[in-house]
Amino acid sequence: MSQATTVEMLVEVGDVPDSYRHHARQLTPGPPHYLAGNRGRAVLKWYLLAREDDPVPAACLDEARDRVAMEFARGTLLVPYGMGFVVLHHSTPLDYLIVGAWRAHQELWETLYVRDARDGSAFQRMRPGENAPTLCVWELAPVWHEREAWVRYLESPRDLAARRAWLDDVLHGQV
């Protein structure tokens, strides 16, 4: 592609509205979520993601933890290695409950639940589709951190000490 063509293409893309102002969000690790069900046990790291001036409501957190526990107990939420993480993103107008489970050694599988943040309705499981949303810029920060933590675990002896190190390896702060 010639330089002129590149410039012509760049003129036609990236039109984020001038009114948009990007801001940081606060990422806070919560206590791990220990799960038991008919397919075994699991531990999920837990992250809360929200604007500093609009934290995750306690009722939202309780409902999210209950939903994950219920789905795992039923066997409808799979965590084959028993290790993963959750990002509970309180946003406007939706709350996102993102469960990442490690499978097939190096694969991260995502289960997504969404609810209306304004009325506090129940989280509904989303089915992936064509051109479906995956992760926003804020959610990518804990996902990347968890990718790095998983690689450290895979390169470790994968013993009890390594599992504890993985569980303690969390990201905190503005993203």
pLDDT tens, residue by residue, 104-147? 889 999 999 999 999 989 999 998 876 677 899 999 999 999 99
**What is the pairing mode between strands 40-50 and 26-37?**
antiparallel
Crossing angle for the helix pair 160-168 and 140-154, to the nearest 10 degrees: 160
Q: Whose CA is closest to 44, among 126, 116, 149?
A: 149
Q: What is the pTM of this model?
A: 0.93
Domain ranges of the chain: 24-174
Question: Terminal CA-to-CA distance of the chain, rounded, Å?
Answer: 35
Residue 108 C-alpha from the chain's centroid = 11
pLDDT tens, 52-66? 999 999 999 999 999
